[in-house]
Structure 1
C-alpha cells in the first residue's frame, strides 16, 4: 500500500471510530510502528487528525475525549500498571479510585480473598469493582459528566470529604517536575484534589508518556505523590527527577 493510500485509510478509520491506538493501526495496515508514527505525524501536521498519547483522535471530537477513546491508547501498559496496583491493596482498607482509564484496569483486577472498601466517583469504575464480591463499593453523588462516566461538582466533593481512605489510586492527564500533576478538565481535577486530601497515601498510575506534559487544570504538586506506578519506558533522567522529590517509582 502506498503512503497516500495508507494515510487515507488512517483518516477513514479515525473518522469512523473517533480514535485509535498505534498498535491497532499497525496490525490493520500490516506495517511497522515507525511507519504508523510517521503517517500520524504527517497527518497531524496537515491538520487532518490529532496525535494523542500513542494514538490518534478525530479533530472534530477533541473538545471532549471520552473514556472509550482514552482507553485504546497504551492499553497494554495500563493493564500492567493496574494489575501491579491491585497488589498494593490490603485487607480491611478503604481506597479511593478515580475515573481514569488506567484506574479502570485496577478496578477490573481487584484482589480476592479479603474484604475492603472502594469509594469512587466513576460509574464504570464502580460497576467493575462491584463484580468483585469481596469489595464493598461506595459511589459518591454529583453531576454526571457522561463522556467520562464521572460524577463531579460540590456534591461529589462533599461526599469524598466525609470519608477517610488509606490509599487513593489516581491518574492524571500529565505530570511534570515543575508544574506537578495537571488535568484537562477542572471538574475532574477538583474531585481528584478532594481524594488526595482525604487519603493517607497517594498512588499515581500513569504511563511514562505523561511525564513532562502540562494541561489546563492544576491538580497537585508532585511532592504530594508517594508512589508512582508506570511502565518501564520511563527514562533514567525522569526517574531521578521523581525520586529526588521523595517519590517511590515502580515500573512494570
Structure 2
C-alpha cells in the first residue's frame, strides 16, 4: 500500500465511513483515482465499498495479552526454546511483542552476553531477569492490551538500531497475502524492526497459518525462518519451503 491508501484507512479508522467527494478534497486527487484506490483496498480486504464511498470493515474484539498467554502455551514454550538457538554471542536482536515472544524471553540463552531491543514492556522486564542480556526499551505510546509501545517515537527508536536478527510475532501467515497483523500501529513497529534487521525469524504457532488480518507487514519471501509446531499441515509446510523459507518444527 502507498501513502494515500494508508491515509484513507486512517480516515476510515476515525470516521468509520467516508464519501468520495470528501476524499477528493482531503487527498487532492481526482475522483477516478479515489475510486481506483477504494477498489484496490477492497480487494485487499481493508474496507467495503458502498454507493458514493466506503465503510470500515467490522472489527473483532482485541484479545488481551493475559488471555493470549494461556492459549497454546506448550506449543509456544517449544517455539521459544527453538528460537533461542539462533541467538549468538555479542549480537543485537529485536524482540517483538506477544505471548510467543514472551516464551522466548523466558528462555533466553545464559552462556554469553548479547543485546535485546524491544518495544514491549513485559518483554523488556522478562529479558531483564537475565544478567547476561543488555535490554534496551524504545519509547512511544502504550498499547495497553499488548503492553507494547507504538507510534512515531517507537519507530524512530527502532530505526536508530541495527540488529542482526528480529524475532517476530504475528497474527496471520497466508501463502498469498504474506504476514499480516490485526493492528495497524503494531504492524508499523514490526515493519521498522524488519527493515533494521539482517535476518527475520518468525515465531508463529500453527493456528496462525492460513489467517489474514487487517494490516500488511511483509511478504513471505522476506521471511528467513519460521518456527512453528507440528500442527502445520504438510501442504502448507511444503509451500513455505518452495518459497525459500526455512521451517523449523518445534
What range describes the TM-score normalised by the shorter chain of this pair?
0.7 to 0.9
Instruction: Supply the distance in 2 between the matched residues of 1:223 and 1:140 (Cα, whole angstroms).
Output: 28
Q: Report how far residue 232 of structure 1 moved.
A: 1.2
Instruction: Supply the distance in 2 between the matched residues of 1:64 and 1:207 (Cα, whole angstroms).
Output: 18
RMSD of aligned alpha carbons: 1.1
Instruction: Supply the distance in 2 between the matched residues of 1:72 and 1:182 (Cα, whole angstroms).
Output: 22
Q: Report how far residue 235 of structure 1 moved.
A: 1.4
Instruction: Supply the distance in 1 between the matched residues of 2:98 and 2:176 (Cα, whole angstroms).
Output: 23
Q: Map 1:64-103 onto structure 2 (within 5 A).
A: 64-103=62-101
Instruction: Supply the distance in 2 between the matched residues of 1:219 and 1:76 (Cα, whole angstroms).
Output: 26
Q: What residue in structure 2 maps to residue 236 of structure 1?
A: 234
Which one of 208, 211, 224 corresponds to residue 210 of structure 1? 208
Q: What residue in structure 1 maps to residue 152 of structure 2?
A: 154
Instruction: Supply the distance in 1 between the matched residues of 2:193 and 2:94 (Cα, whole angstroms).
Output: 7
Q: Map 1:119-158 onto structure 2 (within 5 A).
A: 119-158=117-156
Q: Deviations over 1:75-94 (max 9, x none)?
A: 11001000110111000000
**Unaligned residue ranges in structure 2 (runs of 5+):** 1-59
Q: Report how far residue 64 of structure 1 moved.
A: 2.6
Give the secondary structure class of the aligned counterpart of 1:87.
helix
Q: Report how far residue 227 of structure 1 moved.
A: 0.3
- Give the structure-2-normalised TM-score: 0.75
Q: Deviations over 1:80-118 (max 9, x none)?
A: 000110111000000000001100110010000100000
Q: Map 1:1-252 onto structure 2 (within 5 A).
A: 63-252=61-250
Which 4+ residue blocks in structure 1 deviate beyond 4 angstroms?
Answer: none
Aligned residues: 192
